[in-house]
Amino acid sequence: MTAPDDDRSDPSRFAPQPFDDFSATEGASAGLAKRHVARFFRTHDIVTAPDLPGFRHSHAMVGALSLNHLTYGAQTIIGIPPLRDFYMLQWTLAGTATYRHDDREIRVSAGSLYVVNPDRRYEKVWDADCTQFIVRIDRETVDEVAARSYGRAGTDQAEPIAFATGAVGHSKRTTGLFSFLQSIAADARTDGNGWAHHRLAHRVAPLLAELLLISVDHSAEGDVGARGPSRPRALGAAEDFIKVHARDTIRLQEIADAAGVRPRTLHKIFREHLGVSPIAYLRQVRLDLARRDLRAAAASGQSVTEVATGCGFDHLSKFARFYKERFGESPSDTVRRHRTA
């Protein structure tokens, strides 16, 4: 694997570099930048200058990890909805990023990283000089690793593990985390060498999850004050109903009946706590099911169409579009990747 600089006391000395040969994008209008970034993360709100000539984004994949080098080149405010099925590790390489949520404001300067939890809404302010290395890691991977390390009691599967909200600086505890992030970023720039080698790449996401869990305080170890207020009972009932019946034909009224509230009330609850409508949440659950089925299809031979219809999607083109928006790859790419793993 590519080794970091010998002086490990300052993570900025071995900060990840742009992936110049991998889908690099330079300069954009605010609208184009928003649509481009949403392809790799989630649809979001943006407030910035109309034109962003300093916008730079490059992307690479190592195993199941999505690696991103990103700067807007102007002060930019991003409204981040709940991510639901993935975490983001955001390492500030230059400038400052400010995160706001639950009446808290956290400034993250160069050399520190911030973990964006999947179950909460954030507002993020990039200053004009801010550059970040952002890693997207599936919640499923973190859950699986935490279940092995902490047991089921320590990983409440109904709620994602919540990492402590605060800047994560370089220390003895976090040295391995920063070094590993640098190593996979450097290897992603090689021609399939080091961690990017096909025989090792599938191990990278679980290893990163393990390092994250031992380097940053989180709720599986106890209450770190990272969870928000208690959730309405109707929300939990609706989520349970959706998860049980996701493969069936479901109407909004049926979900509301299961939750014991009116459809309008249910819609408001979902918007306030999850940032999506009940039907959009149903689609997310179905997409999660489809992703698991597609991984299995690599061995079973089940077709993409069969998986889509089996998960409640009637229109294959819409399924493919929603799937790529959520996971950053097409359904057939998922099958192909797991067939060759």
pLDDT at 120: 84
pLDDT tens-digit map of 133-153: 999 999 999 998 988 877 644
Q: How confident is the model at residue 103 (pLDDT cuts 50, 70, 90)?
A: confident
Last residue of a domain, one of 193, 221, 249: 221
Q: How confident is the model at residue 163 (pLDDT cuts 50, 70, 90)?
A: very high
Structural domain range at position 97: 11-221
Distance, CA of 82 to CA of 275 (rounded, Å): 6
Q: In the predicted model, is pLDDT for residue 8 greater than 80?
A: no
pLDDT at 20: 67
Quote the radius of gyration of the chain (alpha carbons, Å).
Answer: 20
**Which amino acid is residue 45, in one-letter code?**
D
How many domains would you assign to the chain?
A: 2
pTM of the model: 0.63
Phi, psi of 193, rounded to the nearest 5 degrees: -110, 170
Mean pLDDT value across residues 317-329:
83
pLDDT at 207: 96
Distance between alpha carbon 220 and the CA centroid of its chain, in Å? 19
pLDDT tens-digit map of 259-293: 999 999 999 888 776 667 899 889 888 988 888 88
Percent of the chain residues topping a pLDDT of 70: 87
Kindly state whether residues 169 and 254 are assigned to the same domain: no
Q: At a CB cut-off of 8 Å and minimum separation 6, what does 23 contact? A: 58, 59, 60
Kindly state whether residues 250 and 206 are assigned to the same domain: no
Q: Using CA atoms of 333, 66, 34, 121 in order, give the dihedral in degrees to the nearest 10.
A: 110
Kindly state whether residues 253 and 276 are assigned to the same domain: yes
Last residue of a domain, one of 221, 246, 266: 221
Q: How confident is the model at residue 95 (pLDDT cuts 50, 70, 90)?
A: confident
Kindly state whether residues 54 and 163 are assigned to the same domain: yes
Q: In the predicted model, is pLDDT for residue 205 greater than 90?
A: yes
Mean pLDDT value across residues 198-204:
92
pLDDT at 154: 42
Nearest to 92 by CA among 127, 58, 120: 127
Q: Confirm whether 99 is domain-assigned.
A: yes
Q: Confirm whether 3 is domain-assigned.
A: no
Mean pLDDT value across residues 163-192:
89
Element (H, E) at 259: helix 252-259
| Low-confidence winner among 130-144, 207-221, 223-237 (lowest mean pLDDT) | 223-237
Q: Confirm whether 123 is domain-assigned.
A: yes
pLDDT at 224: 44
Q: Confirm whether 161 is domain-assigned.
A: yes
Q: Confirm whether 1 is domain-assigned.
A: no
Cβ-count burial 198-220 (b if 16+ within 10 Å, e if not): eebbeebbbbbbbbbbebbbbbb
Q: Confirm whether 6 is domain-assigned.
A: no
Q: How confident is the model at residue 105 (pLDDT cuts 50, 70, 90)?
A: confident
Q: Confirm whether 290 is domain-assigned.
A: yes
**Which amino acid is residue 184, in one-letter code?**
I
Q: How many CA atoms lie within 13 A of 51 on its CB side?
A: 2
Q: Judge contact between 85 and 74, C-beta under 8 A.
A: no
User: How many other CB atoms are there within 10 angstroms of residue 172's CB atom?
Assistant: 6
Q: How confident is the model at residue 229 (pLDDT cuts 50, 70, 90)?
A: very low
Kindly state whether residues 184 and 266 are assigned to the same domain: no
Kindly state whether residues 211 and 119 are assigned to the same domain: yes
Query: Looking at residue 56, which CATH number applies to its domain?
Result: 2.60.120.10
Last residue of a domain, one of 195, 221, 247: 221
Q: Judge contact between 49 and 62, C-beta under 8 A.
A: no
Q: Confirm whether 307 is domain-assigned.
A: yes
Q: In the predicted model, is pLDDT for residue 190 greater than 70?
A: yes
- 71: tokens are 């700067």
Kindly state whether residues 61 and 26 are assigned to the same domain: yes
Distance, CA of 9 to CA of 175 (rounded, Å): 8
N-term to C-term CA, the chain = 19
Mean pLDDT of the chain: 83
Kindly state whether residues 45 and 162 are assigned to the same domain: yes
Kindly state whether residues 86 and 148 are assigned to the same domain: yes
Distance, CA of 238 to CA of 234 (rounded, Å): 6
Nearest to 65 by CA among 133, 153, 160: 133
Kindly state whether residues 193 and 294 are assigned to the same domain: no
Kindly state whether residues 325 and 178 are assigned to the same domain: no
Beta bridge partners of 283: none
Element (H, E) at 89: strand 86-94
Mean pLDDT value across residues 104-115:
87
Q: How confident is the model at residue 124 (pLDDT cuts 50, 70, 90)?
A: very high
Helix-, strand-, coil-residue percentages of the chain, each rounded to 5: 45, 20, 35
pLDDT at 228: 43
Q: In the predicted model, is pLDDT for residue 87 greater than 50?
A: yes
Kindly state whether residues 95 and 172 are assigned to the same domain: yes
Q: How confident is the model at residue 225 (pLDDT cuts 50, 70, 90)?
A: very low
pLDDT tens-digit map of 40-72: 888 888 888 888 888 989 999 999 999 999 999
pLDDT at 121: 86
Distance, CA of 316 to CA of 189 (rounded, Å): 35
pLDDT at 150: 75
User: How many other CB atoms are there within 10 angstroms of residue 89's CB atom?
Assistant: 22
Q: What angle do CA 94, 160, 207 make, to 5 degrees?
A: 60
